[in-house]
Amino acid sequence: MQISSHSTTPLIPASTFVLPYQGSWPTVLDCLCDNFPNISRENWLGRFERKLVLDSHQTPIHHDLPYRAGLRIYYYREIVGEKIIPFQETILYQDEHILVADKPHFLPVTPTGDYVTQTLQTRLMARLNNVELQPLHRLDRHTAGLVLFSVQKKTRAVYQALFREQQISKRYEAIAPALPQLSFPHSRSTRIVPGEQFFLSQEVVGVPNSHTIIDVIEQRGEWCRYQLDPVSGKKHQLRLHMANLGAPICNDPFYPVVDNDAVDDYAKPLQLLAKALTFTDPLRGVPHHFQSEQSLSWNVI
């Protein structure tokens, strides 16, 4: 669900909240204030006044609506003083079913954490006035490159199946230290699970659930530009595989160790690019091959 046309707020995806069965409050507002202690009562009142809290029928509700356990509501996140991401996305292709966007570094794909309006999905929703636009896969905020979107809900499942059935080829490029001890192409298969910190992943002993094929495109001194073909799609798979091979991707703020100072250092973008997408359109039978117009930079090493 997205904000309806009567609101002055830009189009953004809605969040869902079901009023708890345990506990009791006089009103919906009181319940929200207790369950979201980091959001002020004044902020919630402002959202109610601007019709940004709705029921399951997309009808705005009043702040003094009596609390009812199990009531499903939709609300729209707002980040006070949300930081502007000073990089612009590009639309490379669009038809009645899909859209291909070229995402810059540092821009999240969907609303998360400290970002709501400054995300690829929200920007494109507002730009195209399309409330049904949904990404079919994800890129890390620090990764640049191609993201495939579904334009309409009616045909979304057909394109989602491309990823589920591994009928789409994704190719990445990365700049990282040379690995002279390996022969290429190199295949890495490991088991990836959530890390101890919620935003990280880690490799553990066990049945592999991730697979990446790695090759060298060019070498400059002690650095290489690699081609990375992920057969699976685990969180941070490419970054983790390269780091654990001894070649962390240039300017990676997470692997092998977290560098908080580098997380938002716009002068040093992660040198990882989702370069190409290749698939056959499941509805038209037409072969598609898209390539990012961006390129990696040797100048930030």
- The mean pLDDT value of the chain amounts to 93
Beta partners for residue 255, in sequence order? none
pTM metric for this prediction: 0.84
Q: Whole-angstrom distance between the N-terminal and C-terminal Cα of the chain?
A: 42
Segment 135-194, tens digit of pLDDT: 999 999 999 999 999 999 999 999 999 999 999 999 999 999 999 999 999 999 999 999
Boundaries of CATH 3.10.290 in the chain? 15-75
| Ranges for all domains in the chain classified under CATH 3.30.2350.10 | 90-300
**Integer Cα distance of 292 and 166 in angstroms:** 21
Name the token pair of 226. 């690699």
Q: Is 6 exposed, middle or buried (0-12, 13-18, 19+ CB in 10 A)?
A: exposed
Backbone φ/ψ region at 52: left (φ over 0), alpha (ψ -120 to 50), beta: alpha
Write out pLDDT tens, residues 134-146: 999 999 999 999 9
Residue 3: the pLDDT is 41
Residue 157 phi/psi, 5° resolution?
A: -60, -35
CATH of 15-75, one of 3.10.290, 3.30.1230, 3.40.50, 3.30.310: 3.10.290
Those residues with Cβ within 8 angstroms of residue 122's Cβ, 6 or more apart along the chain or in another chain: 10, 11, 12, 13, 111, 116
pLDDT band at 2 (very low <50, low <70, confident <90, very high): very low
- Provide CB contacts within 8 A for 52, sequence distance 6+: 3, 7, 9, 60, 75, 76, 78
pLDDT at 5 over 60: no
Q: According to CATH, what is the number of the domain 90-300?
A: 3.30.2350.10
